[in-house]
Every structure is written in C-alpha cells, then in structure tokens.
Chains A and B, each alone.
Chain A
Amino acid sequence: MIDTLFSGVIHGSAYALVAVGMSLIFGVTNVANFAQGSIVAVGMMVACQLGGMGWGFAPTALVVIAVTGVLGFVMNAIVISPLEGRKPIAALLATIGVGQIIDSSLQLIFGTRTRPFPDLLETYNFQLGGLRFGTSDIVMAITAIVLMAALWAFLTYGKAGQAIRATSQDPDAARQMGVPVGSIRNLSFVIGSVLAGISGIFVGLFNQSVNPMNGGTIGMTAFVAATIGGLGSIPGAVVGGLALGVIEAFGISWFGDGAHDLITFGALLLILILRPQGLLGGRDSVHSEPMTGTFVGEARPLFLPWWGNLLLVAAAVAVPFFASDYISGVGTQVAIYAIAAVGLTLISGLSGQTVLGIAGSIAVGAYAVGILTTRQHLPFLLALLIAGLVAAVVASLLTAPVWKLSGHYVAIATIGVGAVTVAIIRLWTPLTNGSLGISGIPMPRVFGQLLYTQQMQLLLDVIVLIFAVAIVSRIHRSQLGATFAAVGADQDAAESLGIRSGAYKALAYALAAFFAGIAGGLLAAQYTYIDPTIFTTTMSTLVLTIIVLGGMNSPLGAVLGSIILIGAPELLRVAADARVIVYGLLLVVIILFRPQGLVVRRRAQ
C-alpha cells in the first residue's frame, strides 16, 4: 500500500517534470505542441549517449540544454512562426509532422535498440519500506518543483516573462507596446524545448531502459497530466503529474496493467467532465483555443459541376479494371482511409471541432464486422451497415457528456474517447476476444459474388467511397450542413441565432463515426484479422491529417488527401530508411505553403 503510493509519487514526479514544459508551451504560446514528447526523447538519447561515454551529470546536462534549445529555436523559426496568424490547428498539425521527423531521425542516429540508461546519478541508494529509490528520484522531484517556482517567478516578475505573457494574450497589442514579438516567441519555444530536454534526462534515469521511439508515449501521458492539472497552469502541471502517477499506481495495482490505458484516459475523461479546467486551472488560463478552429473562414471547397462529378466517378470506377494487384492493394487502403476522412470533414471541417480519436470508431466498425460475419454469419453488406450504426451509437454514448464542454477541451476529450474505446475492446474479452484479436474474417461477399481479388475489393471500396462522398457533399450543401458550418465558423453567433451548437456537434460526430465505422468494417474484411493494436493514436491523427491536407471541409479534398498521405509512404519506398522523415517533411511543407488545403479556393475578401 505504502509502496504503491510511494512508487506512484516517484513516477508522478517524472510526469510532472515533462508536463511543466508541455503546459508552458500550451499556455504561453497557444500551440498544442505534439512534438514535445519527441524533444524529451532527444534529451534522453543525447544524455544516454554522452553518459554512456563516461560524461558526468553536469556536462551532459549542458549539452542537452544546448541541443534542445537550438532545436526549439529552429522549430519555431522554420515551422511555427510562419504559421502565425493562421488558425492554431495548423500549428498543431505541423508539430505532429515535426514529431515524426524527430522520432525517425533519432532512430537513424541512435539505432533501433532499447539500451540501458547510464547511471548519471545514483538510482537505488535509499530505501523506504519495500521500495528503493535514488538520488536521481530526489533530484527529479526537486527539479520539477524548482522549475515550477522559477517559471512562475519569471513569468510574473521577469521582463521577458511579462513580455511572453503579453505576446500570448494579444500579439498585436504587445507589438504596439514595443515588445519584440518574434524574439519573444523564439524565447518561449527555446525555454519549452530546454525543459523537455532536461526532463528527458530524468525520464531516462527513471525508466532505466530507453528507446529512441519512446517520445510519443511520453508526450501523450504528459499531455494527459497537464490537462488533469489544468492546461496552461504551471503549478497545475506538477499537481496533475503527481495525481496521474498516484491514480495510475493504485488503478494498475487493483486492475492490472492491462487496464493501463483505460485508467489513464478514463481519468482524463472523468476530470474533463467533472472539472474541465483541471485541478488548478483558472477559467482563463488558456487565452485562445489551440485545438479547435477550421479553415472554412479562409477558404471554401471546390464543388464540381454535374458533368465533372460524373467524369470523376467514371474514372474512379475505372481504376480497378486497369490497375495491377499492387496499385489495387494500395488503392483499397487509400479508399478506406478516404471514407473515414470524408466523414470527418463534417465534424472537424464544417463544425470546426478537431477530433483526435477517430480510430476508436474505426475499431468499433471493424469489430462489428468481425464479430457479425464470423459468429452471426450475417451477409457482408448488412454487417457493414450495422458496423456504421454501431460505431455512431458507441461514439454518441461515449461523447455524450463532453458536448457541454467548449473548445479544445472537446478535442482533448476525443483523444480520451478514442483510447478508452480501444481499451474497452481489449478488456471485453468474451465479446471481442481481447488481445488475441479476431481471425478468419471472411473476405467480403456481395450479392453472391466473393470478392477474392484486390481489384474486386477495390471496386467495392471505391463504390462505397463514392456513396460516402455523394452523401457527405449533399449534407454540406443542405440546411443541416449550413447549420454545422454556422457552428464551426462562429459558435457564439450560431448560439445567438438559437442553434444549439452542442447538439449539432454531437450529430456531426455521430455521422463522422458512422463513416469511420464503415471504413473499419471494410478494413476488417480486407485484413481478415484484427486486434486492438491496429487502432492507434497514429491512425487517428492520420485521418485528421488527410482532411487538413485536402481542405478541412472538402469531401473531394479528403479523397485527394488520402491518395497523397496513404499512397505516399508506398511511393517513398525508394527512400527506404528516410521514408518516414520524408513523410513528415511533406506534411510540414504542405501545412506551411498550403494550409487551407489542396481542394479549396480562397474565399474572396
């Protein structure tokens, strides 16, 4: 009991340290930096390398500070600051691309293997009850608290600190008051990155074994911790980190580590529902909403004339008849992701609500088809339709409490909903077969015809996609679509016209989940095997990225985005080792130079 509590506190202080940097960037620069975890990994790997060569703690820390500081500066100068004045969601997605570039570069530099972290400080030289701990743990906890205090003092009393806050509140006003806004933003990013780097050293000491790919998980957990404490609140980050550490320790101790994700993200959802501003967050600690917004205000989708649509449909249907097996195989993936993405334009495009957990709905659809076709022996098309409906119902039930929240809290909640959905699938063994997955899912049979070639499956996927695009385009142009757009463009204005924005967002999300469920069903029938590890956060961000690329509210753009983002990794096979890096670069470049998406026109000013 005491041992569990104490181990939770130690682990929590590791979370706290990372969360402080996360909260600083979020609250002060208004950027939800999804590359923060990757920068922690940079600090960790650099320290591992130098420590392994026999360097002491202090020189190692200095080099880590220098490396991550430069990295933060470069990242802001090249990627983030050019996006200033655009919707914050663009910066968020750019940081996802940067994170991919950093993760893959780390893997190229440091290799793929998990390695022991050098004992830069003593790790197990004290004992309390049945638990040993070390100087490293004490220094880590003290560092977290000292950094918290120092940052607070700096932001409150320091000249540069005050300038940082002024810039985040209103960059135009700050500029008029003589604040060098550009330099101040650079400074914020450098501080945030250095914090990440330093915490990397301690996370390495705590974890004992490190791998260059650890960044993603570290970043996501720290983000959860920061949210629990109150995003944008520095003391909140420390409290949130400690709270998450202790909650996880007891939760896992009672339910087993198999329920780890359910506990972590369940805690996130619970806190969002009960106290959305977090344990210590003030209502106004975040000045704008870095995780919401739409590009609808800046651009409008291209809708083609009827003959244009007809030509496109004919061309799309023609592909399976002429494509090789390989092209068809890639094509099925492109079409399936496009179906999920087309649906997502309704909620994330039109209604302006970023959704980061759509993989949960894809998983529900995949499992519905898997279970209905293998156990109930339902015909494929019927199972597919039910899959869409089940996904919509599950998504509606799980998100029901979050629509009373506003802005980016909903976006964060969708991360939790996605993760909790997959965690429930993993734990509900009698229904889903848990981690063992469902195998032997039959290939689709449509009107008596077994679709046994890639071309046949592609034809099915393309036809479903055409229906999806037709229906979603129709919704875009309907009264319902106009209402969604009103909610997305200006929620306050919409409310004042009597539109209940929460209800409409819930409806848009249910529609998106329906299409995601259909996509999942097609996926299950194509893989013939599914298990919970397929439906990751990466899948969620991928679908979101597809529509960002194509134009957030353009169904046709979603198709094009899918062709580029799902097809590109295949085309990039020539680049071998560097292909994930190239992929990340592509994402960043597109967001930098065409942030409104590909298939849209700029709105006439």
Chain B
Amino acid sequence: MSIHSTGTNAGTTAARRAARPARRGWRKAVKSALAAIVASTTLLSVSACGLGGDSANSNAADGDTVYIAAIYPATGQYAEYGKLFKEGFDLAVDEVNADGGVGGKTLAIKYYDTQSDAKQDASIAPQIASDQSVIAVVGDYASPASSAASPTFQQAGLVHYGFNNSASTFTDTGDHVWTPQISQEQYQKANADVVAKKAKKISVVYIENDWGKQAYDFFKQEAEKNGTEIVYESSYLSDSTDLSPILIPARDAQPDAIVDIGYGPDGALVVNTLRDKLGYTGPFFGGQETSEFLENAGSNAEGTIITGSFSATGTKDSKAQAFVKAFNDRYGNNPGNFEVTAYQAIKDLAYAANKTSPTRDGIQQALQTVTDFPLYQGNGGTFKFNTETRRADNIDPILLIVKDGKFVQYDPDTDSASN
C-alpha cells in the first residue's frame, strides 16, 4: 500500500512541475558542455602525452620470451571449438620450444577468452596491440569477431593470423591481416563437384550466417556450372531446434541427394531429422569433421561426404603423420581439421620468425617473402602466401567420408574410402 501512495505523491509532484513554464537553459546546457570540453581538450593537448597510442610512446620490449596472442572462445556457445584450438596450439608451442624456440627466444602463447563475441574482441584487441612482447595474433573462431579486432592489429603493425577465417572478405582490412585457411570458394567448388558425381537434382539447406551464406553462394555457382538442378533451398538459423518445416519440402521435392552446408551440431540435427523423423534414405552431404558431429549424428552420419583440409588417417605426408602421432600420444585421439589448423598456425608463425626475426616486423616480412611454409594439411608438402590476397596459394581441399563412425579420406574417382 505504501508504495502506491508514494507513487501518487511523486506523480502529482511531477505533474505540478510539468505545469510550470519551461525555463530557458537548453542552449545553456549544450553550450556549457561544449565550453568545458574545448577548455579541457586544449589544456590537455599541451600538457599530456597525447592521443598517439601506446606504440607511439613505448619501445619494443626486451626479454627471453616472445608471445603469440590467441583470441579464442574458451567459454560461450563456441567453446567447443576453442577447446580443439587450444589442443593444437599447446602441442605446437611445446614442439617449437623443444626445437630451440624462435630466434633463440622461447615462444609462448597468451590466451584471451573472447567467447568469439565481437564486443569482447574489440575490447581486448588494444591490450594485445600495446603489449610489445606479442609478435603476432591468432584467432578468432568466427569471422565477425575476428574482423572486429583486425583494425586495431593492422594499426599497430601486428600480424593478425586468422587461421580459421575462411570468409572471403576477411583479409580486406589491411596488409597485416592474413589467413592460411582455404577459401570457401575452393571448398564449395570441391563440394559441388563431388555432389554432381552422385546427383542431378538436389535439395540444399545452409546455416544463416555470414559463413553459410557465402559458402552457399559459391556452392550454387559451381552447381550451376555442373548442371546440377537445385530443386529446393532454404537457410536455417543456428539456434533452431526443429528443422522439419524446411526438411519436409526438401524431401518432398524428390531430390537425388540432400546437401547441408553448416557446422557440427546443426549438421547432426539435419541428418537426424531426415533419417529418423522423415524417413529419408537417399544420399546426404553435410556435417563437420568433429567428434561432436559424429557423436550426435551416430549411425545416421554413415556415408556422408564433406570437404576438409586434413585427414588424420589418410594423410601421406610424413610430418603430418608425425603430428598425428604426437597428438594422439598427448590427447588420446586423432586430430581433426580444427586442431590441425590451430597447430599449423603456431608452426607457420614460428617458421616465419625463424626465417627473419621474432618481432612484429619480422613476421610480416616473412609472410610476404617465405615460399616454403611446411604444410600439414591437404596433400602436405609446403605452401606460400599470395601477397595480394594474403591467403594461402596452394592448399587443396580434400574429401572426407564417414565410414564406421569415423571420418576418413575419400577418393571420388574410385568412389572409395582410404584407411
């Protein structure tokens, strides 16, 4: 009761105030704010250190350890990928140091949890950029988050190595933004080509985000070139839990195959809905090379074909095989694409630092000039960067098929899985 009466009092008081004539002072408020700002700005710009930023005010740090900063999702909705990345990072950095470090210094990683959230990436980026012991940055999981941090690193002359960012616009921010990730254009070309071998009419669903949209555009272009007819298409939101409304028409369009372009958990949802709920028995292309996908899709995953950059059991490259063994010894399971790209990112940067110097400039220079980065993905060997696009030039996607609950390399020409 007491609250109500207080409210009434306040109401009438306020209403009485409302009845008073407006006083002048509008202009006064703005004017005085302006005056105060001008006065203090003038005062400060003559007295203080100015707005040039930390890098303008400090020298490179000296020390026995240099750092790579990792911006990655340790918590939040993408935390599963963060975990996979960290396994790759940790293994790589230990190996680099066992081999003598970088230019006589020890290499270490400073981890920053961003939840792959653009807001947090933008917040943490300046701290990393101003830390002169950091010689390069790797991450983040998703392109929007990565891109929110890029301008700061670009500005600080710090290499941003977005090893997981396949978005085709990712490197547009500036000459210090690089990615060794195979572009979606290449991935989806390979994807559409293998689909064309099995089907003339297809239904396609894809995840509604920047990655999915771009991937599907590339897929569609190649499918048209191949003469594959797309009889149904729809995107889906990543947090949708019932996809029957789009998968029923996808099934009823009577395609030769159904294609999903997405991540792991949603890929499992699509194939489970198709097989369990809608009784679809035709070929399925989709999913993600993670144990999360395999576990959730279970036996429904059998026979699905996806593109990837690495197969732990299929790789013929000796250093990649050594990596698989080391990974297995340490973590008790085979590495997948996320682990290998994270591992390779650290190896690439260490290789770059050893070719030039373990400094920010050294890394940038090496990425521009070194032509024989050791390649663990694809068919192995080495790779170099295209200095125009700042993307890896010669990493080829491979095909993976689920056989007996595991992803193994797939050879489309002989239609066989190699174990």
Contact = CB atoms under 8 A, between A and B. Distances in A.
Interface in B1-54: 1, 3, 6-12, 14-15, 17-18, 20-23, 25-26, 29-30, 32-33, 36-37, 39-41, 43-45, 48-54
B15 A4 contact: no
Contacts, number: 325
Nearest to A333: B123
A297 B3 contact: yes
A577 B122 contact: no
A287 interface: no
Interface string A562-603: 000000011001001101100000000000000000000001
Interface stretch (B273-281, B338-346, B356-364, B394-402): B273-281
A143 interface: no
Q: Could you say which of A107, A132, A321, A494 has the most chain B C-beta atoms within 10 Å of its C-beta?
A: A321
B252 to A, nearest CB: 8
A206 B240 CA distance: 12
A366 B42 CA distance: 31
A58 interface: no
B123 A297 contact: no
Interface string A295-320: 01110000000100110011001101
A324 B272 contact: no
Nearest to A449: B51
Contact of B10 (A261, A296, A530): A296
A505 B35 CA distance: 32
Contacts of B118: 527, 529, 534
B113 A257 contact: no
Interface string B199-223: 0000001001110111000000000
B296 A130 contact: no
A252 B265 CA distance: 20
B126 A528 contact: no
Interface in B84-125: 112-113, 118-120, 122-125
B122 A526 contact: yes
A527 B148 contact: yes
B411 interface: no
A250 B249 CA distance: 11
Given A466-B33, A470-B30, A576 B113 contact: yes
A482 B235 contact: no
B318 interface: no
A407 interface: no
A474 B29 contact: yes
Interface string B67-83: 00000001111011011
Interface string A275-297: 00000000000000000000011
Given A217-B239, A479-B20, A130 B7 contact: no
Nearest to B81: A112
A148 B362 CA distance: 69
Given A130-B278, A257-B234, A258-B208, A529 B7 contact: no
A528 B36 contact: no
A378 B383 CA distance: 42
Contacts of A321: 44-45, 48-51
Interface string B117-140: 011101111110110000000000
A25 B251 CA distance: 41
A541 B220 CA distance: 39
A116 B298 contact: yes
Contacts of A471: 29-30
Nearest to B76: A213
B244 interface: yes
A329 B51 contact: no
Interface string A471-498: 1011000111011011011100110010
B392 interface: no
B30 A113 contact: no
Nearest to A491: B11
Contacts of A325: 53-55, 126-127, 129-130, 152, 156
Interface in A503-534: 526-531, 533-534
B254 to A, nearest CB: 12
A115 B291 CA distance: 10
Given A130-B278, A249-B244, A115 B120 contact: no
Given A529-B148, A533-B144, A534-B119, A114 B292 contact: yes
A260 interface: yes
Contact of A318 (B8, B40, B113, B279): B40
Interface stretch (A64-72, A153-161, A184-192, A431-439): A431-439
Interface residues of B, number: 108
B152 A329 contact: yes
B248 interface: yes
A333 B296 contact: no
A322 interface: yes
B115 to A, nearest CB: 8
Contact of A474 (B25, B49, B123): B25
A490 B249 contact: no
Contacts of B246: 252-253, 256-257
Given A456-B51, A483-B18, A490 B8 contact: yes
Contacts of A499: 15, 18
B412 interface: no
Given A252-B246, A253-B246, A123 B276 contact: yes
Given A7-B248, A107-B79, A454-B126, A260 B236 contact: yes
A318 B44 contact: yes
Given A322-B48, A435-B213, A209 B296 contact: yes
A394 interface: no
Interface in B170-199: 172-173
A456 B6 CA distance: 46
Contacts of A62: none
Nearest to B25: A474
A253 B245 contact: yes
B70 to A, nearest CB: 14
Given A115-B295, A474-B29, A486 B18 contact: yes
Contacts of A256: 234-236, 246
Given A114-B264, A207-B269, A490-B10, 17 more contacts: A87-B3, A116-B296, A130-B278, A131-B277, A172-B1, A257-B208, A257-B234, A324-B130, A333-B119, A436-B213, A453-B51, A455-B51, A467-B33, A470-B33, A473-B29, A474-B25, A579-B113
29 contacts: A3-B244, A114-B264, A115-B292, A124-B277, A206-B241, A209-B296, A214-B241, A249-B245, A258-B237, A317-B44, A321-B44, A325-B54, A325-B55, A326-B124, A333-B122, A333-B123, A435-B209, A435-B210, A435-B235, A443-B151, A455-B51, A479-B20, A486-B15, A488-B14, A494-B11, A528-B151, A529-B118, A531-B209, A573-B113
Shortest beta-carbon contacts, A-B, top 8: A490-B11, A329-B126, A326-B127, A112-B79, A257-B236, A325-B126, A325-B130, A482-B17
Interface of A: 3-4, 7-8, 11, 85, 87, 104, 107, 112-116, 123-124, 127, 130-133, 172, 206-209, 211, 213-214, 217, 248-253, 256-258, 260-261, 296-298, 306, 309-310, 313-314, 317-318, 320-322, 324-326, 328-330, 332-333, 426, 434-437, 439-440, 443, 452-456, 459, 463, 466-467, 469-471, 473-474, 478-480, 482-483, 485-486, 488-490, 493-494, 497, 499, 526-531, 533-534, 569-570, 573, 576-577, 579-580, 603, 605
Interface of B: 1, 3, 6-12, 14-15, 17-18, 20-23, 25-26, 29-30, 32-33, 36-37, 39-41, 43-45, 48-56, 74-77, 79-80, 82-83, 112-113, 118-120, 122-127, 129-130, 144, 147-148, 150-152, 155-156, 169, 172-173, 205, 208-210, 212-214, 234-237, 239-246, 248-249, 251-252, 264-265, 268-269, 272, 276-279, 292, 295-296, 298
